[in-house]
A and B are shown apart, each in its own frame.
Chain A
Amino acid sequence: MSFKIILAVVAGIGVGYFVLPSEILQYTDYILDIGLCLLLFFVGIDIGKNKDVFDKIKKIGFRVLLVPVMIIIGSVFGSIVAGLILGIPMNEAGAVGAGLGWYSLSSMMLATYSSKLSALAFISNVAREIIALLTIPIIAKYIGDIESIAPAAATSMDTSLPLIAKSTNPHTAIIAFISGVIVSTSVPILVSVIIKL
């Protein structure tokens, strides 16, 4: 799936650059707006299906929610600090960080704002997932089990979960899943709030 996603974007860039006239640009925003609403509906369905998450949180204890909260704060704060160094406005850098590894949704949400920022969100969040897959086993071994959930952020409920489970223990895998659901739910809200700041 990740490969198909990257291929679809790269094919779009290629066709846009080499084939289509720039007059088409005025119509893309309408399609993206309608498409985004449809996509958010599907995202809602996926999140709603994980109804057992509430029971898991109750069983483990509400303190477990600190893990996703810290991942969110750390990611947004980290991207703002990086933005200050790179000379990117705080709201733009923060919105890229608020993508939390969910590159398809975050880049799509920022596409109507600016295609440059959308590209930055896409590449940055793809890079986050790749770095996460490379560093999760190392962080689990040398820093700690729970800390290994942090690089994965939103992907800790799906694509990174098998790796976290393999690198840590069943307990951490449950926390990773809960954290992934909470972090994923916050992405559409945070990206649209932070970009408006």
Chain B
Amino acid sequence: MSIRLLLYLGILIIGGFFGYKGYGGKKLESKLGTIQTVCLLLLLFIMGLKMGLDEKVISSFFELGFQAIVISIFTITFSVILVKLVKGFVLKNIQQGEQNDEL
């Protein structure tokens, strides 16, 4: 595992702990939401800057668009098929659980 992955995991876990414990209360939570939105939009703007500065992205924009749509169609199709394969197994358990609840 790379250091970067460990760092990401560590930050996620620390954030998760804060969220789980509910530190800061509702007031901070609403402020945090605004900070989060501003940060996200600013970062996305910078990410866009990087794309705009890269000739390769601009020159192959339509090619990227086509590839993106093919990838998204394949991801959706395969995930629907795999969920369909396990559906019976998952639902059987839920129906049994419901019956047990009734008992």
Contact = CB atoms under 8 A, between A and B. Distances in A.
Interface of A: 1, 4-5, 8-18, 20, 22, 24-25, 28, 31-32, 35-49, 51, 59-61, 63-64, 66-67, 70-79, 81-83, 85-86, 88, 93, 96-97, 100, 104, 107-108, 111, 115-116, 118-120, 122-125, 127-128, 131-132, 135, 139, 143-144, 146-147, 149-151, 153, 171, 175, 185, 188-189, 192-193, 196
Interface in B43-71: 43-54, 56-58, 60-61, 64-65, 67-71
B91 to A, nearest CB: 7
Interface residues of B, number: 72
B62 to A, nearest CB: 11
B8 A189 contact: yes
A96 B69 CA distance: 12
B5 interface: yes
Contact of B72 (A41, A131, A196): A131
Contacts of A82: 67, 70-71, 73-75
A45 B18 contact: yes
Nearest to A22: B53
B2 interface: yes
Nearest 5 pairs of A and B residues by beta carbon:
A12-B48, A44-B15, A16-B52, A48-B19, A78-B78
A63 B43 contact: no
27 contacts: A12-B44, A20-B49, A41-B15, A44-B16, A45-B15, A48-B20, A66-B89, A70-B82, A70-B86, A74-B83, A76-B75, A78-B71, A78-B74, A82-B70, A97-B74, A104-B40, A108-B47, A115-B47, A120-B68, A123-B65, A123-B69, A124-B72, A131-B73, A146-B87, A150-B82, A175-B90, A192-B4
B15 A66 contact: no
Main secondary structure of the interface of B (DSSP, over half): helix
Contacts of A16: 48-53
Contact of A8 (B19, B45, B77, B89): B45
B22 interface: yes
Contacts of B75: 74-76, 78-79, 82, 97, 100, 124, 128, 153
